[in-house]
Amino acid sequence: MGQNGEMKQHDAIVIGGGLVGAAIAYGLAREGLDTALIDEGDVAFRASRGNFGLVWVQSKGVGAPHYQRWTRLSAAEWPKLAAELGQRTGVAVGLEQPGGVQLCLGDEEFAGRQAMMEQMRTEAGNFGFEYRMLSHDELAETLPGLGPEVTGGSWTPYDGHVNSLYLLHALHKGFVERGGTYLPNRTVDYAAAQPHDFRLGSGADEIAAPRIVLAAGLGNAALAPLFGLSAPVRPQRGQILVTERSERIWPIPLGSLRQTLEGSIMLGSSEEEVGFDTGQRPEVMQAIAARAVRTFPWLAELQIVRAWSALRVMPPDGKPIYDESEKFPGAFTANCHSGVTLAGAHANAFAPMVAAGALDPMMLPFSARRFDIPQAAE
Ligand SMILES: Cc1cc2nc3c(=O)[nH]c(=O)nc-3n(C[C@H](O)[C@H](O)[C@H](O)COP(=O)(O)OP(=O)(O)OC[C@H]3O[C@@H](n4cnc5c(N)ncnc54)[C@H](O)[C@@H]3O)c2cc1C
């Protein structure tokens, strides 16, 4: 019991109100479950507020066809999710899915990219994977001012981008409008787990439910063992630069470059192993800007108006972790480094599985049990 002796029973609890938790909580509420979303709040790591906003498919799941399919499923669900959020909340999340191009500097990058895309196609099997490697000249027709160092790029029709701050806002708004209970500024500091019976304390409140989803980003690493789960995620820092607004010039997102609907150009994003350090480093920012200018020399004319860093939620092998607890059935966890891209899957596929009480067998390869490698015989 909480200090006031009050205990509120729900159908489901989600811990973590970032993009992953908010998408799942929204999906659960839409399934008709009385859901509580408990969130520490906008503190510290800010992955859901400081990301790049890509709905990016073309590089996801190399060597892991299940992850490729999951990402494709999410991209396919995205238009429905965006339209539904727009209708229900009045928040236009700015989804555009015109396809995307990853630009390559030099022959080596181009050859490496081509090999990767071909591997994706082979691994897709009958599911299919449409891509094209485009030459400099082909790209220059649609991308004015393309720098001479750009040798070409990979294109797929599946990619897109979105305003991820509006997305987070819309998911929260939609969740509450669907009858969800949002409990902000609460850090989960107490948990009692029994099969299909989970009780959480935070301050004076106690809430209980037969289902719980751990979606607390980097907080999942500490929370998971309380529920017989494992979520060995680590922080990976990303820094992003944003230019002043300019005329809208690119018809598609370009991987580490994208132009927002408002006209700002986002340059990103680094991948740094610096633990929980949320600082910014001039040399990293310079490297991001230098690559952007090699790609489009005219970018040097634009002022950088903002820059920030945020921490990704990174599983050991870079692929998402979804799991359900064997010890405490009813407890689930969701962890990934592409919470924007996967929002469609989280709201429209993962949440219905949780509501139904079990993950679909297609989710088995995502279990953290893949990290339980038996000790090699000495
Ligand atoms: C620089 C950068 C660029 C990125 N670009 C992209 C991109 O282009 N496309 C894409 O798809 N993804 C991108 N991502 C990744 C994406 O932003 C993340 O996958 C996503 O935001 C993770 O969401 P989350 O909800 O898991 O984690 P978080 O955003 O960290 O949210 C977790 C929440 O749980 C709360 N919490 C933690 N512990 C507790 C606790 N004990 N009790 C209660 N609450 C708790 C936290 O306060 C927080 O609100 C990027 C990330 C970064 C950092």
Segment 332-343, tens digit of pLDDT:
999 999 999 999
pLDDT tens, residue by residue, 23-74? 999 999 999 999 999 999 777 677 888 899 999 999 999 999 999 999 999 9
Q: Does domain 234-314 have CATH number 2.60.40.10?
A: no
Mean predicted lDDT score pLDDT of the chain: 94
Domain boundaries, the chain: 8-55+165-232+317-371, 100-156, 234-314
* Mean pLDDT of the 167-194 span: 94
The Å distance, Cα 306 to ligand 1 centre, comes to 20
Asked if residue 178 has pLDDT above 90, the reply is yes
As to burial, measured by CB atoms within 10 angstroms (0-12 exposed, 13-18 middle, 19+ buried), residue 90 is exposed
Report pLDDT digits (tens) over 87-132. Answer: 999 999 999 999 999 999 999 999 999 999 999 999 999 999 999 9
Atom of ligand 1 nearest to the CA of 48: 21
Please write the tens of the pLDDT for every residue from 299-319: 999 999 999 999 999 999 999
Is the beta carbon of 74 within 6 A of some atom in ligand 1?
A: no
How many other CB atoms sit within 10 Å of the CB of residue 345?
28
Predicted confidence at residue 1, as pLDDT, reads 41
pLDDT mean over 214-226:
96
For ligand 1, whether the C-beta of 330 sits within 6 Å is no
Q: Tell me, in angstroms, the distance from the centre of ligand 1 to residue 308's CA.
A: 15
Mean pLDDT of 285-306: 97
Q: Which atom of ligand 1 is nearest to the CA of 161?
A: 8
| Phi then psi dihedrals of residue 219, to 5 deg | -70, -15
For ligand 1, whether the C-beta of 19 sits within 6 Å is yes
Q: Which of 8, 48, 11 is nearest to 351 (CA)?
A: 11
Look at residue 4 in the predicted model and tell me its pLDDT. Answer: 54
The two three-digit tokens of residue 145, written as one number: 């001012």
Residue to probe by mutation, ligand 1, list 26, 42, 43, 51, most atoms within 8 Å of CB: 51
Amino acid, single-letter form, for residue 15 = I
Q: 35 in ligand 1 pocket by Cβ < 6 Å? A: no
pLDDT on residue 378: 41
pLDDT at 44 (0 to 100): 62
In three-state secondary structure terms, 175 is helix
Q: Is 21 in the pocket of ligand 1 (CB under 6 A)?
A: yes
Pocket lining: 355 vs ligand 1, CB cutoff 6 Å = no
39 lines ligand 1 (CB under 6 A): yes
Q: Is the CB of 48 under 6 A from ligand 1?
A: yes
Nearest CA to ligand 1 atom 22: 339
The whole-number pLDDT of residue 254 equals 98
Instruction: Tell me the percentage of the chain whose pLDDT exceeds 90.
Output: 91
Ligand 1 centroid, distance to 195 Cα (angstroms): 28
CA distance 173 to 85: 9
CA of 143 to the centre of ligand 1 (A): 32
Task: Answer yes or no: is pLDDT of 2 > 50.
Answer: no
Average pLDDT over residues 291-300: 97
Q: How far is the CA of 299 from the centre of ligand 1 (A)?
A: 29
Structure confidence at residue 5 as a pLDDT band (50, 70, 90) = low
In the prediction, which pLDDT does 376 show?
Answer: 46
Ligand 1 centre to CA of 136 (Å) is 35
Index of the ligand 1 atom closest to the CA of residue 53: 8
For residues 323 and 365, what is the distance between their CA atoms, to the nearest angstrom?
9
- Alpha-carbon distance of 339 to 217, in angstroms, equals 10
pLDDT tops 90 at residue 362? yes
Q: Which CATH number fits domain 8-55+165-232+317-371: 3.50.50.60, 3.30.1490.190, 3.30.70.20, 3.20.190.10?
A: 3.50.50.60
Q: What is the spatial distance between Cα 10 and Cα 362, in angstroms, rounded to a whole number?
A: 28
Substitution site in 37, 43, 52, 278 for ligand 1 pocket (most atoms within 8 Å of beta carbon):
52
Residue 6: what pLDDT? 72
Q: Is the CB of 188 under 6 A from ligand 1?
A: yes
